[in-house]
Structure formats: structure tokens, C-alpha cells
């Protein structure tokens, strides 16, 4: 296989180049700076080098200059990638011995043509050298294969290691199954492994890792792959799943299996794991990116207490320093009164009137402007600040809606989101009782929204907590319903009153027939279970017509109103605005 070395500091371009070349059957190695590029060129002896000219530190010219001192390196075709191809640059490169230039941005055919012509030209020169080498190569090959095996397998667990990951991913991708099905990358790390090792010794740690590897392997089937990344970290490539839900089932099976007692050398030990999940190609096209993202999700799962899985989300990507800065300023946001509550109406499809409101947090950052909840809650959840913020929002929203109750809108319901950390607080119920008690808010008008994934983390505990809240008269809504976490069977076990259909379904009703069918099925199922159904994110009359036709109970969405601040919401209430409902004639057509 022809080996190409890509030296390019721009991550996106490097990823793209690698993907194109890998798809064309090249073996690709990459470096993000000149020094690393030289190291790799010497160690791996590629058949061709693609090298960026402008790089911080050692630039492309210096790389070529250094490599050309070594006669074996000088024989490797060298192509420069450059954004500015002036005559001077061109000359300077050629004098140093570059074989060609590709001016960015270049197309895939241009790239492949450039590579093909350079490989062809050098072949004749290299032929003589190659014949001499062939003699030695046979024996060398044998030694290489052995080295390859040893360097690509972990001797402790007998699993492929990090070096083998890219090749395994390529294999999965190229199988028929991989082409049709979903490829899921799990990054698994044991919780408290260092503690176990410190208490029971390093040898015991090794025994445990071996046993863990066996248990993980037992949970998957070919052609899925398990890789021992390092220490207590494993990667799993799932090629046999068709839906996100199946991948989750496997992740849960792995977690359940690992949390069973290990009996090793007369010691009994309990250990749990955290799993981060990334999906190909949604969360990345290259295995390196996918693993990085799965790893970010795994860290998040650990931060939330471990023994759970977590999907990768773009919100985890807020840069580290950005994140730190946000965390620091979020600490003061409450004191500086930078947080706001916005209210979005919930409308009944019986009359088109407002029956409730969802309270949504907003952060008016002094420099960054308005920060929406997706970013805010990710940072707040991580630091634990979500707890005081959630409490503040709950109190503020209850006070506000109580004012509206007192001014004649006495049956307006209030919906508040609860995060995982809030829901898992031991004293949640007590705190809620205290707040609503002080305000005099009737809990019968309160709905708490919980994400499916929060409930699925520990079903038994969740049921117990929900029952505790329901005993107060509070209603429970399952938010983002349909995003694929829970099986419908579980739903029956949860003491809930309301299903909020995720907006991704509503948005695709018109052009994706299966989304429409799922939405219809969710509504029907909810009716059978005696649950109220709310369609979220309704933006167009055709979406409204669909949910109306299928007898959804309520809607929320920009079609009626975006979330607004309290005074504007009050105006809306007073105006008695109604959502124009589709006429029967219209939807029967
Ligand atoms: P959610 O509970 O599903 O809230 C509805 C989200 O959909 C809101 O986004 C709302 O602005 C948006 N939305 C409403 N109608 C439409 C529409 O027609 N089209 C589109 N494209 N979007 C619509 P927002 O405010 O950014 O909130 C996002 C999520 O953040 C919420 O989703 C909720 O899960 C979470 N969140 C918001 N406030 C809080 C909070 O105070 N505490 C906690 N724990 N989570 C919160
Ligand atoms: Mg919500």
C-alpha cells in the first residue's frame, strides 16, 4: 500500500486530505507540525510527502531543507501545499528539491492528479534502488510483521491497541455492513480505577483489566471491535447496530456487566465505568476526531457521577479556556443579575388559547451578549452551578406566575426544566416544597420537565423520586421524547403525565414520512397511556395541521410565539391572543 505523509497544521484541511487519501486506498500518516513531520518521515519512510509551506515553528521550506540532507529522504517525492503560489515561492521550493506545488484551495481531482504524476516520475529512479533492496526485504518483511503485531496489540489484555484503531475503523467502514449501518464509537473508562490499584496493588489492577477486557468482549459480537487504548481506557467500534437506540442498549449492557462483582485472587471488587458515545459520520469522519469526541462525552459522564453513558454534544466543545472563563463569570452572573427568565406560551389545540408557559433561562453576558441554554446549562451542569441557578429560576418563575394567577389568569400552568444534577439532589423535594410554600403557589399548576436520558440513568431511583414529586400534586413531563433513549416499555413504568415530542420530529413531518409516522405513533401511544401530548417547535401551518389532525393536545413553537420576557408575556395574556386553528375542511383534504 502506498504510504503518504501529510504535514499540515490546519486541522480541518488535514482531516479532509486524510479522508480523501484513505478512501483512495492510501495508507496515510499525519503530522500537525514540521518537527513531527520530520520524525515521521524518518521513522516511517513514506512513498510521498505532502507538506504545508506556512506553518508556525518549522515551516515547509525548513522541513524540505532538513530532509534533503539525507539521501534516502531526498528520494521521496515532496509536494508543497501553499495558499500563495508566487513565482518566488515556487522557485525557492524547487531549488530546495520540491517536486510539485498544489495551490490551496485545490480540488480532489487536482490532488490525486498531482500525487499520481509524482509517484510515476519517481518510480523509475527508485526502481534500481528497489531491486537491490528486494533481496533484503523478504527477511525484513517477516521481522516487520512480527513487530507490527507486537506494536499493534496490547500484551496484557491481548486486544488491539491504539495504533491499530485506524486500521480497524477502516475495515469496519469498508464492510457492507459498515456502509449501510450506523457506526458508533464508544470510549469507556473505569471509574475509580486508580483507587482500586492503590488499595489492592498494581498486579491486581492488571488482573482486573484483563477481566474487564473479557467482559466487554462478551457483550459485543463480530465485526464489532474492542481496543485497549491505555491504562483503564477502552474503545469499542460498533458496526452491528442500525439505530442509536441499539447502540445505547449495548452501552447499557456493558455498564451492567461491568458493575457485577469481580472475584479475582480471592478478592471481591466492585467497579463501574463511564462511556462516551460518538456517531459516524455525524460527530466526525475520521476515527481520531470520533474518539476525541467520544472521550469528551466520557469525561462528561464521569463528571456527572460515573456509571452512565453520555452522547457527544457540540456544547462539550466550547474551548477549554473559553469554558473556564464562562465558568468563572457564571459564578458571578447570579449576583450581578445577568440571568433572566423568558416565557414561552403553551397553547391548547382545543381552543387555540394559552394554557401554560415554559420558563427558560437566558444569560445576558456583559461581553458575549445573550447566551442560550445549550451552552449555559453545559457549563453550569459541569460546575454544579446548575443547582443554585435552577433554584433561582424556579423561585423567580413561581413568583411571576403567581402574580399572573392573582391578576385573573388563575389556571395558567408553569413548566420548568430540571437538569440531571437537580433531579439527583437528595433534598430536591424539600427545596421545592419550601419555595412553593413560601410563595403560596398551587403545585397542581406546576409541571417539571425531565429529559428521557436523565430518567434512564437509574430507572428504579427515578421512579421513586418521581412518585415523591407527584405526591405533592406536581405533574411530570418527559421532555425531548422520541430522541431514542428510552424504549416505550419503560415509559409505562414512569409515573408521568405529559409527553413533549421532540422538535426534530415536528420539523421533519412534512418531508420525512417515517418521522411523520413516528409522531403519529407517539401521539396514539400517549393517548392509550392517558398522557397529555405537547408538540414542541411548531413553526409552520402545515406542522400545526398535522398535529391537529392527529389530535395532539397542545403545541409550543415560533408559529405562535418565541420565548419572551415577563412584561411581553403579560401583554400576550391580556391580549387574549388565539392560535388560528386549521379548519376541519382544510385538514380533511
Ligand atoms: P426545551 O425544554 O425543549 O425548550 C424548548 C426549546 O425550544 C427552547 O430553546 C425554545 O426557545 C425552543 N423553541 C421553542 N419553539 C421553537 C420553534 O418553533 N422552533 C425552534 N427551532 N425552537 C423552538 P432554549 O430556550 O434554547 O432551551 C433549550 C433547552 O435548554 C430547553 O429545551 C431545556 O431543555 C434547556 N433549558 C432551558 N432553560 C433551562 C433551565 O432553566 N434549566 C434547565 N435545567 N434546563 C433549561
Ligand atoms: Mg423543556
SS (H, E, C) 259-286: CCCEEECCEEECCCEEEEEEEECCCCCC
Distance 209 CA to ligand 2 centre (A): 41
Residue 41 near ligand 1, beta carbon < 6 Å: no
Nearest ligand 1 atom to the CA of 451 is: 34
Compare 285 and 35 and report the one with higher pLDDT.
35
Residue 360 near ligand 1, beta carbon < 6 Å: yes
φ, ψ at 481 (rounded to 5°): -65, 140
Q: Which of 184-198, 411-425, 513-527 has the lowest mean pLDDT?
A: 513-527
Whether the pLDDT of residue 48 is over 90: the answer is yes
pLDDT at 423: 92
Distance 447 CA to ligand 1 centre (A): 15
Q: Which CATH class is domain 162-316?
A: alpha beta
Nearest residue (CA) to ligand 1, atom 23: 537
Residue 478 near ligand 1, beta carbon < 6 Å: no
For domain 3-126, which architecture applies? 3-Layer(aba) Sandwich (3.40)
Whether the pLDDT of residue 477 is over 70: the answer is yes
In CATH terms, the fold of domain 338-587 is TIM Barrel (3.20.20)
Distance CA 577, CA 574 (A): 8
How many helices, marked H, and strands, marked E, lie in the chain? 25, 21
Q: pLDDT class for 589, splitting at 50, 70, 90?
A: very low
Whether the pLDDT of residue 502 is over 60: the answer is yes
Compare 575 and 80 and report the one with higher pLDDT.
575
Residue 537 near ligand 1, beta carbon < 6 Å: yes
Give the percent of the chain with pLDDT over 90.
Answer: 39
Residue 424 near ligand 1, beta carbon < 6 Å: no
pLDDT at 329: 85
Distance 537 CA to ligand 1 centre (A): 9
Cell of 162: 491504539
H helical segments located in 27-175: 34-44, 60-67, 71-74, 87-96, 108-152, 165-174
Which residue has 430518567 as its cell numbers? Answer: 455
Q: For residue 498, which ligand has an atom nearest its CA? A: 2
Nearest residue (CA) to ligand 1, atom 45: 417
pLDDT at 443: 97
Residue 447 near ligand 1, beta carbon < 6 Å: no
Give the percent of the chain with pLDDT over 70.
Answer: 87
**Bridge partners (DSSP) listed for residue 28:** 4
Say how far residue 374 (Cα) sits from the centre of its chain: 13
Using CA atoms, how far residue 586 sits from 251, 339, 509, 511, 535, in Å, is 46, 43, 17, 19, 20
Pair 501, 535: CB distance under 8 Å: yes
Strands 225-230, 233-241: pairing kind: antiparallel
Whether the pLDDT of residue 568 is over 50: the answer is yes
Nearest residue (CA) to ligand 1, atom 37: 360
pLDDT at 482: 66
pLDDT at 483: 59
Pair 447, 475: CB distance under 8 Å: yes
Residue 561 near ligand 1, beta carbon < 6 Å: no
Task: Give the mean model confidence (pLDDT) for residues 542-554.
Answer: 94
Task: Give the mean model confidence (pLDDT) for residues 544-564.
Answer: 95
Q: For residue 537, which ligand has an atom nearest its CA? A: 1
Cell of 143: 521481522
Domain residue ranges in the chain: 3-126, 162-316, 338-587
Distance CA 190, CA 258 (A): 9
User: Which DSSP symbol is given to 161?
Assistant: B
H helical segments located in 175-305: 176-180, 193-200, 202-219, 244-258, 287-303
Amino acid at each position: 500500500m502506498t504510504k503518504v505523509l501529510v504535514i499540515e497544521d490546519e486541522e480541518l484541511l488535514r482531516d479532509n486530505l486524510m479522508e480523501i487519501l484513505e478512501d483512495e486506498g492510501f495508507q496515510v500518516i499525519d503530522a500537525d507540525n514540521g518537527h513531527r513531520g520530520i520524525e515521521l518521515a524518518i521513522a516511517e519512510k513514506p512513498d510521498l510527502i505532502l507538506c504545508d509551506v506556512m506553518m508556525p515553528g518549522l515551516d515547509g521550506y525548513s522541513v524540505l531543507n532538513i530532509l534533503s540532507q539525507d539521501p534516502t529522504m531526498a528520494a521521496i517525492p515532496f509536494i508543497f501545499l501553499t495558499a500563495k503560489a508566487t513565482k518566488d515561492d515556487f522557485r525557492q521550493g524547487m531549488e530546495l528539491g520540491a517536486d510539485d506545488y498544489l495551490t490551496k484551495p485545490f480540488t480532489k481531482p487536482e490532488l490525486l492528479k498531482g500525487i499520481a504524476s509524482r509517484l510515476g516520475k519517481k518510480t523509475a529512479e527508485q526502481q534500481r534502488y528497489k531491486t537491490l533492496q528486494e533481496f533484503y526485504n523478504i527477511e525484513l518483511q517477516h521481522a516487520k510483521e512480527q513487530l507490527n503485531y507486537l506494536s499493534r496489540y496490547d500484551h496484557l489484555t491481548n486486544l488491539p491497541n491504539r495504533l491499530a484503531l485506524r486500521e480497524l475503523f477502516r475495515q469496519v467502514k469498508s464492510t457492507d455492513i459498515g456502509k449501510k449501518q450506523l457506526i458508533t464509537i464508544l470510549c469507556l473508562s473505569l471509574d475509580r480505577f486508580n483507587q482500586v490499584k492503590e488499595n489492592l496493588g498494581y498486579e491486581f489492577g492488571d488482573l482486573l483489566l484483563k477481566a474487564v477486557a473479557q467482559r466487554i468482549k462478551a457483550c459485543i459480537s463480530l465485526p464489532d471491535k474492542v481496543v485497549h487504548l491505555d491504562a483503564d481506557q477502552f474503545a469499542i467500534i460498533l458496526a452491528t447496530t442500525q439505530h442509536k437506540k441499539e447502540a445505547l442498549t449495548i452501552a447499557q449492557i456493558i455498564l451492567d456487566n461491568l458493575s457485577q462483582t469481580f472475584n479475582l485472587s480471592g478478592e471481591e471488587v466492585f467497579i463501574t465505568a463511564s462511556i462516551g458515545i460518538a456517531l459516524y459520520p455525524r460527530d466526525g469522519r475520521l476515527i481520531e476526531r470520533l474518539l476525541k469526541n467520544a472521550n469528551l462525552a466520557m469525561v462528561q459522564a464521569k463528571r456527572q457521577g460515573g456509571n452512565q453513558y453520555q452522547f457527544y454534544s457540540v456544547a462539550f466543545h466550547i474551548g477549554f479556556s473559553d469554558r473556564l472563563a464562562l465558568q468563572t463569570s457564571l459564578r458571578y452572573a447570579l449576583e450581578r443579575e445577568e440571568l433572566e427568565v423568558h416565557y414561552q406560551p403553551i397553547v391548547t389545540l382545543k381552543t387555540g388559547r394559552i394554557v401554560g408557559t415554559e420558563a427558560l433561562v437566558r444569560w445576558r453576558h456583559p461581553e458575549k451578549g445573550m447566551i442560550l441554554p445549550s451552552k449555559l446549562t453545559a457549563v453550569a451542569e459541569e460546575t454544579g452551578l446548575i443547582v443554585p441557578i435552577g433554584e433561582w429560576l424556579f423561585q423567580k418563575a413561581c413568583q411571576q406566575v403567581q402574580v399572573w394567577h392573582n391578576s385573573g389568569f388563575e389556571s395558567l400552568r408553569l413548566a420548568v426544566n430540571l437538569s440531571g444534577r437537580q433531579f439527583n439532589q437528595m433534598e430536591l423535594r424539600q427545596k421545592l416544597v419550601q419555595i412553593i410554600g413560601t410563595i403560596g403557589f398551587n403545585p397542581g399548576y406546576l409541571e417539571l420537565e425531565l429529559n428521557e436520558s436523565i430518567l434512564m440513568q437509574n430507572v428504579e431511583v427515578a421512579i421513586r423520586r418521581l412518585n415523591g414529586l407527584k405526591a405533592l400534586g406536581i405533574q411530570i413531563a418527559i421532555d425531548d421524547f422520541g430522541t431514542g433513549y428510552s424504549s416505550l416499555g419503560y415509559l409505562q413504568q414512569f409515573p408521568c403525565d405529559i409527553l413533549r415530542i421532540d422538535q426534530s420530529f415536528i420539523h421533519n413531518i412534512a418531508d420525512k414520512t417515517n418521522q411523520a409516522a413516528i409522531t403519529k405513533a407517539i401521539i396514539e401511544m400517549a393517548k392509550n397511556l392517558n398522557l397529555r401530548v405537547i408538540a414542541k417547535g411548531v413553526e409552520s401551518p402545515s406542522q400545526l395541521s398535522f398535529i391537529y389532525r392527529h389530535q395532539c393536545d397542545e403545541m409550543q413553537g415560533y408559529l405562535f410565539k418565541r420565548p419572551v420576557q415577563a412584561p411581553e408575556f403579560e401583554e400576550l395574556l391580556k391580549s387574549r391572543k388565539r392560535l388560528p386553528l386549521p379548519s376541519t375542511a382544510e385538514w380533511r383534504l
